[in-house]
Structure 1
């Protein structure tokens, strides 16, 4: 029976990889303890050992049929997959899966039985093969990268501490010499010794008494000194990068504050500028969306822009019924802009060169002296199209009622788009004339 190539990113394959990761962690914890405590491999432990072999053999079968990426190209050719697996991962997987204990224990020799018992440590070779699953976790877009790095750092420290503790237990000749508690709670006291040694605290209440123990302690102390510096450096770096956006925002605010102070900007204006940046942080986390989109290739930029702004355009009556290409052209040429409360977005009588679409917030359409409010426009509304389409002066003053996220479309760009869609251009101009007449009627009634 031919097994088809398995895609490495399917849910089933990812679930299997996670299962193998959990099993590898389990055997990394259990097997060293079995060896240290000299537990006989019979009964449930023998079944456990047999199940591990079967699962790891199944993993070999799955991995030898799993496609792989090479320079971002998915390789599905079975012969290439098999050769790549044999060259890179097969020796390690075979070493971890081979049932050395069950085969060697068939020989009655005490020496062979001892070798069979010690061969269980070869299962830990599987630790070298969980890098891809951990890499997938590290590259996850759903979690904070700094949080992932911190979690993985703690994970590897605990794994190393466990293995060192088990190694110390295996050579510790007289645990109860200085303290009977050491013999009664051997693993706990060994783990305690490992942590104090790796962190370079070293209380000295557990000390070596033989040459082998002394050599082992020296090695662990050297490892601990390097690990301590590595951990401190990584933790400092992780903390500094837990929220890069926040750090960049605070750095920017320091520059803005210094500039305002240097130029002796009035206190009220300083507060308004500070409020603007606070709103920018709350609403956009300080990012300029246009600069981010500018780095993307056009197809990706189009997809993201459609996702962000399609709802706004679809709410605008003059664009209802427009074809997909026209909507794409409009959306790709929108520029984000923010107005603070009280800002005059447009002023009656001035020549307009932009029309605006409101994404969030609201604006008031007011009389020239701002004594009369003709209308309030909210999310999904648009304004400025009359001057833009008919080359006429603004017929009303519009002021931001609160913080207002808008998108602007300039006249030159809009005219270029309309040239490519002449039928829709006629419809838009008719609607613009109708809206201008309605606005003038409202203004006459309020005089």
Structure 2
């Protein structure tokens, strides 16, 4: 389905809501308004989508199958008008209070939100969806096909699926739920295609006469289940069906086969894309691993080194879900990178004694320059006498300061939340050398801050620079 301009505009603004929503919370007006990713709005969309699904699934069933009778017609009408009431509440209460982006600003003004909604194509479709064709019940009786405008509320279903994933980021697991939503959505398209075909088959059987030929439904057993079974065998081209005998049956079956092949190929393509998206990251990891192994093999790298590199790939992927965090974040604007860095790393860095008392903004600037690196058990992070060009903050794991003739004597163990290597960066003069040997004890995930990056930051914070140099002495 192609998106029109209003949908594309809403999609662009959608991500701005996710990142800047917390900025607007303090500025909320007394009038109630909703962000598209607010949990309460997504919950409301669930009820709207439930009402839409009632119509989209049961309108064809009630038209084709004899399930709507004079004895239960009042129950069907009660459910119909309950769904209509949900539609009306959505149009009058929720949609006119939905925030939107205009010129980069999130608009929360009640009048502006109402006027914006009334100018959108969605408003027109919502109004048409409530067109009261039920007045023709007086002439035709209660015919569910007269409720077909209710299906035009499909935008609510698309918005619900679109908005569900960012809420899932905050509630469950982002990647897996996102993929599950795509799988469920694709499966629903297939099930609905079979549902419509089952209704048409029963209508065709009733038109030809139930049980009049071997091809039509014979009227025995559960009508819907047996017609659905026919639809599955036809649309998925399983075969094994009785041969059609009349012209109507032959034409119906030919159309079924053509539609089945077309629909099934689309579903296969959709599922391929879903599986491809689910395994894209792992495929990238495997490709990097294979390229590295091929390179090491061609240059006859020692087997021990190869095994350590393979271990590094495996642990880094399992612990982080990616090989390079910077590669992911570099595509984002600076402000968004800072927001993510603060949420992910500030709790660790703020506890480091070296940075306590420093300008808070200086710490924020430093967060965006940190690089996460994994060291394997026994790997030397730095050696005594080396030129110091980085400082290290332990994010996870432990490192040990070692010495002695064989570098096996442990002087001290440094744990998560500690910093080392700062003396070489902060002491006066250039070309400062390391004063100790430090190696990883087990797997260690460290933040690395380059000397050049630190110098560029401290230029703007002279007071923090004095404090850091004083602590490093």
Q: TM-score range by the shorter chain?
A: 0.7 to 0.9
CA contact (8 A) 1:165 1:194 kept: yes
What are the Cα deviations for residues 380-408 of structure 1, in whole angstroms up to 9, with x where unaligned? 11111222222543222112222221122
The answer to whether the 8 Å contact 1:347/1:394 transfers is: yes
**1:431-442 to 2 correspondences below 5 Å:** 431-433=471-473
Q: Which residue number in structure 2 is paired with residue 51 of structure 1?
A: 82
Greater mean deviation of Cα atoms: 44-53 or 71-80: 71-80
Q: Out of 289-298 and 82-91, give the one that drifted further.
A: 82-91
**1:302/1:7 Cα in 2 relative to 1: closer, same or farther (>3 Å)?**
closer
Which has the larger Rg?
1
* Cα pair distance change 1:122/1:56, threshold 3 Å: farther
Structure 2 equivalent of residue 104 of structure 1: 136
Summarize the alignment of residues 245-264 of structure 1 with structure 2, pairs less than 5 Å apart: 245-264=281-300
Secondary structure of the structure 2 residue equivalent to 1:89: helix
Is the CA contact 2:374–2:443 (under 8 Å) kept in the aligned structure 1?
A: yes
After superposition, give the CA deviation of every residue in 1:212-248 in whole Å (9 maximum; x if it has no partner): 3332222222111111221222223322332221111
Question: Which ranges in structure 1 are unaligned for 5 or more consecutive residues?
Answer: 107-111, 434-447
Counterpart-to-counterpart distance in 2, 1:8 and 1:396:
54
Give me the whole-angstrom Cα distance separating, in 2, the residues matched to 1:354 and 1:87: 58
Q: Paired residue for 2:61?
A: 33
SS in 2 for 1:376: strand
Change (3 A) 1:312 1:13: closer
1: CA distance between counterparts of 2:312 and 2:58? 57
> CA offsets, 1:323-364, max 9 Å, x none?
212212332332322322222222222332222111112111
The Cα shift of 1:63 comes to 6.7
* Partner in structure 1 of residue 263 of structure 2: 227
Aligned to 1:122: 146
Q: Which residue of 1 aligns with 2:19?
A: none
Q: Distance in 1 between matches of 2:355 and 2:414?
A: 17
Query: 1:263-307 CA distances to partner (integer Å, 9 max, x unpaired)?
Result: 221111111111111111112123311222222212112222222
Work out the CA distance in 2 between the residues paired with 1:203 and 1:316.
72
Find 1:379's aligned residue among 416, 423, 432.
416
**For 1:296, what is the secondary structure of its paired residue?**
coil
- What does residue 17 of structure 2 align with? none
Q: Aligned partners of 2:95 and 2:416: how far apart in 1?
A: 55
Aligned length: 418
Separation in structure 2 between the aligned mates of residue 86 and residue 414 of structure 1, nearest angstrom: 51
Q: CA deviation at 1:162?
A: 1.2
Match of 2:465 in 1: 425
Q: CA deviation at 1:10?
A: 4.3
The partner residue of 2:96 within 52, 65, 73 is 65
CA gap 1:197/1:179 in 2 versus in 1, 3 angstroms: closer
**CA deviation string 1:182-203 (max 9, x = no partner):** 4112222211111111011221
Does the 8 Å CA contact 1:5/1:78 hold for their aligned counterparts? no
Contact 1:384–1:394 under 8 Å retained in 2: yes
> If the length of structure 1 is used for normalisation, what is the TM-score?
0.83
Q: Measure, in 2, the Cα distance between the counterparts of 1:91 and 1:423.
A: 62
Taking the TM superposition and a 5 Å limit, the aligned residue runs for 1:388-403 are 388-390=425-427, 391=429, 392-403=432-443
Alignment match, 1:137: 161
Per the alignment, residue 180 of structure 2 pairs with 147
1 CA distance for matches of 2:453 and 2:216?
Answer: 85
CA distance in 2, matches of 1:287, 1:323: 32
Alpha-carbon shift at residue 317 of structure 1 (Å): 1.5
Contact residue 371 and residue 447 of structure 2 kept, 8 A? yes
Distance in 2, matches of 1:321 and 1:306, equals 17
The equivalent of 1:364 in structure 2 is 400
Q: Which one is further off, 333-342 or 136-145?
A: 136-145
Q: 2:276 aligns with which of 234, 240, 259?
A: 240
Report the 3-state secondary structure (helix = DSSP H, G, I; strand = E; otherwise coil) of the residue aligned with 1:287: coil
Decide whether the 8 Å contact of 1:4 with 1:65 is kept in 2: no
RMSD over aligned CA atoms reads 2.9
**TM-score by structure 2 length?**
0.79
Moved more, 312-321 or 141-150: 141-150
- Say whether the 8 Å CA contact 1:24–1:124 is kept in structure 2: no
- Structure 2 gaps of 5+ residues are 1-30, 167-173
